[in-house]
Amino acid sequence: MGIAYRKFDPTEYVIRVKKGKVVREGLGLSFFSNTMTESMMVIPTTAFDAGFAFNDIMTLDFQCVNVQGDISYVITDYEMASKMVDFSYKDKKDYKSVLSEARQKMSKRIMNIAKIYVAKFISGKSVREAIISADELAKTLKADMKNDETIRKFGMELISVSILGILAQIDTRKALEAAAREEILKQQDDAIYKRRNSAIEQERIVRENELNTEIKVAEKQKEKREKEMEMKRLVQEKQAELDARKLADNIRLEEENCRFVDLQTENERKKSDAKAYDSEVILKTFAGVDKDVIKALVTSGMDSRALIAKAFVEIGNKADKIGVLNVSPDLLETLSNA
pLDDT tens by residue, 129-164:
999 999 999 999 999 998 889 888 889 999 999 999
pLDDT at residue 306, as a whole number: 62
pLDDT at residue 111, as a whole number: 93
Distance between CA atoms of residues 51 and 71, nearest Å: 6
Are 163 and 67 in a shared domain? yes
Distance between CA atoms of residues 76 and 8, nearest Å: 18
In a domain, 278, yes or no: no
What is the domain-level CATH number for residue 100? 3.30.479.30
pLDDT at residue 184, as a whole number: 85
pLDDT tens digits, one per residue of 317-336: 666 666 666 666 666 666 56
Main-chain dihedrals φ then ψ at residue 88, nearest 5 degrees: -60, 145
pLDDT at residue 269, as a whole number: 78
What is the rounded average pLDDT for all residues in the chain?
83
Task: Say yes or no to pLDDT of 113 above 90.
Answer: yes
Q: Who contacts 15 (Cβ-Cβ below 8 Å, separation ≥6)? A: 22, 24, 25, 40, 41, 42, 43, 78, 79, 82
Please identify, among 118, 141, 168, the residue that sits at the C-terminal boundary of a domain.
168
Are 81 and 149 in a shared domain? yes
In a domain, 68, yes or no: yes
Distance between CA atoms of residues 294 and 288, nearest Å: 10
Are 142 and 111 in a shared domain? yes
pLDDT band at 287 (very low <50, low <70, confident <90, very high): low
Please identify, among 109, 135, 168, the residue that sits at the C-terminal boundary of a domain.
168
In a domain, 264, yes or no: no
Distance between CA atoms of residues 27 and 14, nearest Å: 6
Mean pLDDT value of segment 220-236: 88
Domain extent at residue 313: 302-337
Are 13 and 114 in a shared domain? no
In a domain, 205, yes or no: no
Are 60 and 144 in a shared domain? yes
Are 62 and 155 in a shared domain? yes
Count the domains in the chain. 3
pLDDT band at 4 (very low <50, low <70, confident <90, very high): confident
Between 83 and 264, the more confident residue is 83
Are 139 and 74 in a shared domain? yes
Percent of the chain with pLDDT over 70: 81
Are 110 and 124 in a shared domain? yes
| pTM (two decimals) | 0.53
In a domain, 19, yes or no: yes
pLDDT at residue 304, as a whole number: 59
Phi-psi map region of 235: left, alpha, beta (phi>0 left; psi -120 to 50 alpha) = alpha
Are 62 and 164 in a shared domain? yes
In a domain, 221, yes or no: no
Are 16 and 96 in a shared domain? no
pLDDT band at 307 (very low <50, low <70, confident <90, very high): low
Are 35 and 119 in a shared domain? no
Main-chain dihedrals φ then ψ at residue 50, nearest 5 degrees: -130, 115
pLDDT tens digits, one per residue of 27-76: 989 888 887 788 889 999 999 999 999 988 999 988 999 999 999 999 99
Between 4 and 291, the more confident residue is 4
Task: Say yes or no to pLDDT of 291 above 60.
Answer: no
Are 100 and 152 in a shared domain? yes
Please identify, among 46, 61, 80, the residue that sits at the C-terminal boundary of a domain.
46
Cα dist. 185→16, 132, 178, 319 in Å? 70, 21, 10, 145
In a domain, 332, yes or no: yes
In a domain, 126, yes or no: yes
